[in-house]
Amino acid sequence: MSWIKSMRHFFEKHGFHVSSRVADRLGMRATNVRLFFIYSTFVTAGLWFFVYLTLAFWLKLKDMIYTKRSSVFDL
């Protein structure tokens, strides 16, 4: 059981206080760093959602314009 506690202590010491360590390194407040991470997460997720919607629109538009005709008499 002691190795579990030592592993937990390691991750708490080196992994969980990332924003406070970055803020100390940059000379900022930790809340501003956390807000930056939150806002950048929303921006990147929103950006890829916008790319997905744009590609879906282009594919739908392509299907509407370029339709495969089975014969010459389908005009």
| Per-residue pLDDT tens digits for 30-74 | 889 889 988 998 888 888 888 999 999 999 888 877 766 676 676
Does a structural domain hold residue 33? yes
Reading the block at residue 45, the tokens are: 């997720």
Q: Is residue 14 part of a domain?
A: yes
72: in domain: no
Using 50, 70 and 90 to split pLDDT, how confident is the model at 11?
A: confident
Q: What is the pLDDT of residue 45?
A: 85
Tokens standing for 9? 């202590």
Residue range of the domain that includes 61: 2-65
The number of distinct structural domains making up the chain is 1
Instruction: Indicate the pLDDT class of residue 14, thresholds 50, 70 and 90.
Output: confident
What is the structure's pLDDT at 56? 93
Can you read off the two tokens belonging to residue 10?
């390691």
In a domain, 19, yes or no: yes
The rounded distance, in Å, linking the Cα atoms of 33 and 19 is 6
Residue 70 lies in a domain: no
